[in-house]
């Protein structure tokens, strides 16, 4: 296979028109982040276990964390709808 003037690094640097070094770098970065995410997930699981052993309700903690990520108006709207639905069901 003949090399053209733009492919100075040879066939190993580009395979099928893809810059192999760049691709390898991207894949390795993703793999490192996936490992970090796995470690963080394990840490979070440990914290929930600690909370449970301290007597906290993990389901409620998860709800609190989800709510803290939302805007106040969004939370208020959900609580209003929940109240309307409860009344409709006679709760």
Q: What is residue 1's predicted lDDT score, i.e. its pLDDT?
A: 46
Return the higher-pLDDT residue of 80 and 11. 80
CA-CA distance, 79 to 30, in Å (whole number)?
Answer: 39
* Tokens 């639905």 found at: 85
Q: What is residue 13's predicted lDDT score, i.e. its pLDDT?
A: 62
Q: Where are the domains of the chain?
A: 15-56, 57-91
Q: How far is CA 25 from CA 6, 7, 30, in A?
A: 21, 19, 9
Q: Residue 1 has what DSSP assignment?
A: -
Instruction: Give the tens place of pLDDT for each residue, 33-72.
Output: 999 999 999 999 999 999 999 999 999 999 999 999 999 9
Return the higher-pLDDT residue of 88 and 2. 88
Collapsing DSSP states into helix, strand and coil, what is residue 19?
strand
* Average pLDDT over all residues of the chain: 88
CA-CA distance, 28 to 32, in Å (whole number)?
Answer: 6
* Reported confidence tier of residue 15, pLDDT bands at 50, 70, 90: low
pLDDT of 73 strictly over 70: yes
Q: What is residue 8's predicted lDDT score, i.e. its pLDDT?
A: 53
- Please state the pTM of the whole predicted model: 0.63
């Amino acid at each position: 296979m003949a090399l053209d003037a733009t492919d100075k690094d040879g066939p190993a640097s580009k395979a099928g028109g893809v810059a192999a070094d760049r691709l390898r770098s991207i894949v390795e970065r993703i793999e490192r982040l996936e490992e970090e995410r796995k470690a963080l997930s394990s840490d979070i699981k440990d914290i929930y276990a600690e909370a449970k052993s301290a007597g906290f309700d993990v389901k409620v903690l998860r709800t609190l964390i989800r709510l803290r990520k939302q805007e106040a108006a969004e939370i208020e709207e959900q609580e209003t709808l929940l109240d309307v639905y409860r009344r409709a069901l006679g709760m």
